[in-house]
Chains A and B, each alone.
Chain A
Amino acid sequence: MKVDKKTVKEIAALANFQIEKKDEKDLIIGMQKILEMASSLDEAETKDITPMANPHDARQILREDVCKDVEHRDLFLALAPLAEDGFFLVPKVVE
């Protein structure tokens, strides 16, 4: 697997990164190194082996469907870099 500029640009768009020309080389090398290591997995015999997502093969547990009073709107809005009138502020998306 060879990582090139085109791959880096496509993946950067998916990962929501803005890639500057000066960073391209580092990202190509960084990704390439990880993927080179990963390629050795090809040698492992995994026919009929069920993928393992959790060490205990645990399934998601459900809590009782009880509504609790957890109104923390102001607390969490206070963490936002920009907020106004109870809303997060972002650049205009609708003209």
Chain B
Amino acid sequence: MPDQTLAEQIKGIRRKKYSSFELTQSLLDRIKDKSNLNCFISIDENIIEKAQAADKEIQKGSDKPLLGIPIAHKDIFCEYETKTTAGSRMLENFVAPYDATVVSNLKRAGAISLGKTNMDEFAMGSSNETSFFGPVRNPWDENRVPGGSSGGSAAAVSARLCCAATGTDTGGSIRQPASFCGITGLKPTYGRVSRWGMIAYASSLDQAGPMALTAEDCAIMLREMSGHDKKDSTSAQVAVDDYSAFLSRPLGKLTIGIFEPLMKELDSSTSLVMETTIKDLEKVGVTFTEIDLPNFSYAIPAYYVIAPAECSANLSRYDGVRFGYRCKEPSNLKELYQRSRTEGLGQEVKNRIMAGTFALTTGYYDAFYRKAQQVRRLIKNDFVKAFKNVDLIIAPTTPSTAFRLGEKADDPQEMYLQDVYTTSANLAGLPALSMPAGFVNGLPVGAQLIGNYFEEARILSVAHQFQAITDWHLTSPDSQT
């Protein structure tokens, strides 16, 4: 059962091949066996009761689309009466007083929450090594990182500890770990999924999305996660597609753009994976054409001004007064603020808050923050122009396969370059998916499909048809050993 996809588990439960209780119990056993991966920060203590309650609903004939399916939530989503830590000491004991909209939407669809997955602290990191709760290990090679920041979700799905999980993506945090762990992950259009109850990192970039084994599973998850939410003024008032219904429709005359300079940067093995992916996509009827994205190289510097600037404002709320970590015996109010923040937040988070605070100070605002926002528009304009001639864009997801734990920990700049192919979609607000496309030295490699605004259905459909003629997405870490 744990090896099955979300679509298969839905059928398994509906057709009463097994109960939600049996499925949940088997996943809990597996989570225990794989505890060395450190995928979960917490497991829901009431999960068995929830599974039994779901089984009763099934007996009564309920047709909720995800009824009784155990899924995991990145520990950045508030869940009522559940510890929600964002991977930080600051929120180590924070028990959320309400459900994030993503959580309540999935509950409404019948899903049951297995637990909260490990992540880089406040989603700041590309290796899961900045988590206060220790790093997650990559199921393909436990000496390697799973990527980040949604590393716990990616590793949990890859290790078959759950069939699907939620993630968030501010600069690549769904797609990069999906690539490193050999799963499928989608960052939707900015505003497609509500950010209410999702702990903020950089509000104009943050977007929640599904992580699962297949594009078909991501389509099922996205349908339930999406929609306008009055509680999030940036959530889009755009109708939600029936993504599953689009999956197998003929692609028609579909053109994918290639920005050649991105392909030329790759090492020969990864380059071969991308070439093979392009050939496979041609088999399903896609044609390719070259496009130009002249400002693509500015995405990383623009991102590393805008994201820190927004995080410096968002994380000012952690002051030791209303919730979260509070230092012991402060002598005055200023010391309470300063020591609570200094002791409660990790080094990478502090680095980004400091850089962001600097970028917003008088004298440097125009040179850094305003300039980055102008470059952001140039990047968006390049994509808008490109999408006049193509339906999708293909790119690598990451510059390498999963690296070793600690390998880049002392070199933040090297770590930041992990996001080189992913940040531009966040800056422009476009949807983008990473799908398993092959292996290099036994480690998964992902290929990225970037789509036009609110065209998640098209991305998922192409990925699904690619997955119909390949089996990279079904190869599990266990089958390799």
Contact = CB atoms under 8 A, between A and B. Distances in A.
A29 to B, nearest CB: 8
B105 interface: no
Q: Chain B's interface: helix, strand, loop or mixed, by majority?
A: helix
B373 A53 contact: yes
A53 B204 contact: yes
B353 interface: yes
A93 interface: yes
Nearest to B321: A88
A56 B355 contact: no
A36 interface: yes
A63 B305 CA distance: 32
B322 A31 contact: no
Interface string B305-328: 100100010001001111111100
A91 B331 contact: yes
Nearest to B325: A81
Interface size class on chain B is: 35 or more
Contact of B361 (A11, A12, A23, A38): A11
Chain A interface category by residue count: 35 or more
A75 B413 CA distance: 42
Nearest to B379: A52
B298 A41 contact: yes
A55 B312 CA distance: 20
Interface in A1-51: 7-8, 11-12, 14-20, 23, 26-27, 29-31, 33-44, 46, 49-51
A79 interface: yes
A42 B372 CA distance: 9
Contacts of A82: 326
B255 interface: no
B412 interface: yes
B37 interface: no
Given A15-B357, A52-B374, A75 B97 contact: yes
A67 interface: no
Contacts of A49: 374, 377-378
A76 B440 CA distance: 50
B298 A52 contact: no
Interface in B418-473: 427-430, 453
Contacts of B230: 63
A60 B304 contact: no
Given A37-B416, A80-B322, A91-B332, A16 B337 contact: yes
Given A17-B350, A18-B338, A18-B342, A31 B321 contact: no
Contacts of B325: 81
B299 to A, nearest CB: 11
B370 A51 contact: yes
Given A14-B361, A50-B377, A56 B191 contact: yes
Contacts of A35: 355, 358, 368
Given A33-B412, A37-B304, A7 B358 contact: yes
B91 to A, nearest CB: 10
A16 B338 CA distance: 5
A37 B341 contact: no
A30 B338 contact: no
A79 B94 contact: yes
Most buried by B among A26, A41, A88: A41
Nearest to A3: B358
Contacts of B380: 52, 55
B371 interface: yes
B322 A33 contact: no
Nearest to A60: B233
B97 A79 contact: yes
B374 A34 contact: no
B353 A15 contact: yes
Contact of B338 (A7, A17, A56): A17
Interface in B278-294: none
Contact of B305 (A29, A33, A38): A38
B352 interface: yes
B347 A37 contact: no
A48 B338 CA distance: 40
B453 to A, nearest CB: 8
Interface string B134-149: 0000000000000000
Contacts of B321: 80-81, 88, 90
Interface string B52-95: 00000000000000000000000000000000000000000011
B246 interface: no
A40 B341 contact: no
B298 A15 contact: no
Given A7-B358, A30-B355, A55-B204, 9 more contacts: A11-B361, A16-B316, A38-B301, A44-B375, A46-B375, A54-B429, A55-B191, A72-B97, A79-B323
Closest 10 CB pairs of A and B: A55-B429, A30-B351, A51-B373, A81-B326, A46-B374, A52-B377, A34-B355, A18-B338, A79-B323, A49-B374
15 contacts: A15-B350, A17-B338, A18-B339, A31-B351, A41-B368, A44-B298, A44-B375, A46-B378, A50-B374, A52-B377, A55-B429, A60-B233, A72-B97, A78-B97, A79-B94
